[in-house]
Structure 1
Amino acid sequence: MPAFPGDGVADITAALGSLPSGSPVSEVARRLMDLFTSGSVASGARLPPERQLAATLGVGRSAVREALAALEILGIVDVRPGSGTYLRGAASELLPQTLRWGLLIGERRTAQLLELREGLEIYVARLAATRADDAILERMAQIVERMRATVTELAAFARADLDFHHALAEAAGNETLTDQVHVVRSLLQVYADRAVHDREHAERAVAEHEAVLEAVRAKDADGAASAMAVHMATASARLLADAEPVLE
Structure 2
Amino acid sequence: MPAYPHDASSEIAASIGSLSGGTPVSAVAKRLLEIFTKGDIEPGTRLPPERQLSTTLGVGRSAVREALAALEILGVVDVRPGSGTYLRGATSELLPQTLSWGLMLGEPRTVELIEVRGALEIYAARLAASRITDQALERLGQHVDEMRANIGDLPAFVEADLQFHSELARSINNTVLLDLLQSIRSLLRVWVDRAVQQPEEAAAAIEEHAAVYAAIATRDPDAAASAMAVHMNTAGARLSRSVAP
- Normalising by structure 1, report the TM-score: 0.60
Provide, for residues 71-104 of structure 1, a one-character-per-residue CA deviation record: whole Å limited to 9, x for no partner: 941426xxxxxxxxxxxxxxxxxxx933443345
Shift of 1:66: 4.3
Segments of structure 2 that go 5 or more residues without pairing to the other structure are 1-36, 42-75, 77-88
Q: In structure 1, what is the equivalent of residue 239 of structure 2?
A: 239
Aligned residues: 162
Q: For residues 114-133 of structure 1, what are the structure 2 equivalents within 5 Å?
A: 114-133=114-133
Partner-residue secondary structure (3-state), 1:75: helix
Provide, for residues 162-216 of structure 1, a one-character-per-residue CA deviation record: whole Å limited to 9, x for no partner: 0000000011111111111111111111110011111111111011001111111
Q: In structure 2, what is the equivalent of residue 139 of structure 1?
A: 139
User: Is this contact kept in 1: 2:111–2:243, CA < 8 A?
Assistant: no
Structure 2: distance between partners of 1:105 and 1:235? 19
Q: For residues 169-248 of structure 1, what are the structure 2 equivalents within 5 Å?
A: 169-245=169-245
Distance 1:105 1:238, change over 3 A: closer
Segments of structure 1 that go 5 or more residues without pairing to the other structure are 1-64, 77-95
Q: In structure 2, what is the equivalent of residue 156 of structure 1?
A: 156
Provide, for residues 6-41 of structure 1, a one-character-per-residue CA deviation record: whole Å limited to 9, x for no partner: xxxxxxxxxxxxxxxxxxxxxxxxxxxxxxxxxxxx
2:203 aligned partner, one-letter code: E
Provide, for residues 45-92 of structure 1, a one-character-per-residue CA deviation record: whole Å limited to 9, x for no partner: xxxxxxxxxxxxxxxxxxxx849x99941426xxxxxxxxxxxxxxxx
Distance 1:105 1:125, change over 3 A: closer
Structure 2: distance between partners of 1:104 and 1:74? 16
2:93 aligned partner, one-letter code: G
Structure 2: distance between partners of 1:74 and 1:130? 39
Q: In structure 1, what is the equivalent of residue 101 of structure 2?
A: 102
Structure 2: distance between partners of 1:176 and 1:127? 13
Structure 1: distance between partners of 2:90 and 2:117? 26
Structure 2: distance between partners of 1:105 and 1:72? 19
1:102 aligned partner, one-letter code: W
1:154 aligned partner, one-letter code: L
Structure 2: distance between partners of 1:129 and 1:146? 21
Mark the structure with the bigger radius of gyration.
Answer: 1
Structure 2: distance between partners of 1:208 and 1:73? 38
Distance 1:210 1:74, change over 3 A: farther
1:163 aligned partner, one-letter code: Q
Q: In structure 2, what is the equivalent of residue 87 of structure 1?
A: none
2:226 aligned partner, one-letter code: S
Shift of 1:129: 0.6
- Normalising by structure 2, report the TM-score: 0.60
Q: In structure 2, what is the equivalent of residue 75 of structure 1?
A: 93
